[in-house]
Amino acid sequence: MTYHPQRFTAPDGTEMVVLRAEDWERLRAYAEDEEDVREAGATLARIEAGEGTVPGDVVKLMVVDGLKPLAAWRRYRGYSQAELARRAGLSQVWVNRIEAGGGYGSRATRRKLAEALGAPVWALDEEGES
């Protein structure tokens, strides 16, 4: 037996289709796969553009140890806050403040920190910041 989806027009003029639940779930899974492919493509484009990647050890420090991105990169490089501050031309107090979530500074500050850590600038941004 062949299934034919029902089509109808809602009172507001919207065209509607009624599908079997299994067909709906399959379509939803395809849409999620498509979104994953788009995100992977965007990541690959960033890598190809020379924007860098995040080493697995840095990700582990953020996810498992709960460190903020700056602290994770600093630990990954083996720097103290004072050493990172010296390399970036900032004060140790400012580095501590950023790691503690008390500020983030300007784009120029993030560039200095990223350069001192050998990290891509975007990798130091926390979710929701830019």
**What does the domain layout of the chain look like in residue ranges?**
6-48, 56-124
Task: Give residue 122's pLDDT.
Answer: 84
Q: Hey, what are 16's tokens? A: 């509607």
The CATH number assigned to the domain with range 56-124 reads 1.10.260.40
Tokens, residue 67 = 């460190």
The per-residue pLDDT for 128 is 45
Mean pLDDT of all residues in 104-119? 90
- CB of 18 within 8 A of CB of 5? yes
**Angle between helices 92-99 and 81-88 in degrees, nearest 10:** 110
* Predicted pLDDT of residue 93: 93
pLDDT: is 125 or 119 the higher one? 119
One-letter amino acid at 96 equals N
CA neighbor of 126 nearest in space, from 47, 54, 68:
68
HSE-CB for 79 with a 13 A CA cutoff: 21
Report which secondary-structure segment, H or E, holds 110: helix 107-117
pTM above 0.95, yes or no: no
